[in-house]
Amino acid sequence: MKEVKLNDTIKVHYTGKLNNGNIFDSSENREPLQFIAGQDGIIQGFNDAVLGMKLNETKTVTIPSEQAYGARKEEFVQEVSRAQLPPDMQPKIGDELMAQAENGQSQKVKVIDVTEESVKIDYNHPLAGEDLTFEIKVVEIQ
């Protein structure tokens, strides 16, 4: 039976859960996720998990944060003067904003503190520092 090898184009259905059991993402009721096994764009642990899986095989794997979105880093939290923000902006704790990263790409950031003088913004990926558990089913191997 055919199994997933490096550089195969595959489709998988998946459900991702945090350690507390909360689902953070799923392909349920959507098209399966298509990607090239071993290529960038998919977290390392997920890529590693699908290699060797057979068509229609289901697997549950826990991926440590180092092989997912990495550790949460305090240096990715920055305080920004309110004077640097648009004058009509009224940020609140929990707001998600789009910011431009140093490499020029847009990045989602989260407001974690607001004072009269400044806003504290977290540039960490929302799943940084989290171990992730995925149930994965290979539905197509090309």
Question: What is the number of domains present in the chain?
Answer: 2
* pLDDT tier, 95 (very low <50, low <70, confident <90, very high otherwise): very high
| Averaged pLDDT, 100-104 | 76
CATH number of the domain to which 110 belongs:
2.40.10.330
Is pLDDT of 104 > 90? no
| Residues 100, 132 within the same domain | no
Range of the domain at 83: 74-122
Q: What is the mean pLDDT of the chain?
A: 94
* pTM greater than the 0.85 cutoff: no
Is pLDDT of 101 > 80? no
| Residues 56, 93 within the same domain | no
| Cβ proximity of 135 and 59 under 8 Å | yes
| Residues 47, 86 within the same domain | no
The confidence score (pLDDT) of residue 98 equals 86
Q: Note the pLDDT tens digit of each residue in 24-63.
A: 999 999 999 999 999 988 999 999 999 999 999 999 999 9
CATH number of the domain to which 18 belongs:
3.10.50.40
| Residues 63, 133 within the same domain | yes
| Residues 28, 48 within the same domain | yes
| Residues 13, 65 within the same domain | yes
Bridge-partner residues for 95, per DSSP?
A: none
